[in-house]
Structure 1
């Protein structure tokens, strides 16, 4: 999914696979600890990948 913020930046959210149980989340290629996404992602744009099993 791609989403454009009010300041014109794009956030891409990917979830490869069909699993439902979240095993990891990465933000801009770096593993994210926990489930909260940094606010900078919404200001600067970027990519979130949700890994499931």
Structure 2
């Protein structure tokens, strides 16, 4: 759950970077797509760990 929280913090920091014009829209979308993939991987890991503990 800590990793999920950290991912959400990262997504906010990326949005802030875009809003402050440190990165452009294309770079923002590229990084956001990566965070979505990481989120899917994290969810898969959490499901696998949960199933192994039953």
Fold match (TM-score > 0.5): no
TM-score normalised over the length of structure 2: 0.28
Q: Which has the larger radius of gyration?
A: 2
Greater strand proportion: 1
TM-score normalised over the length of structure 1: 0.28
Greater RCO structure (CA 8 Å; 6+ sep): 1
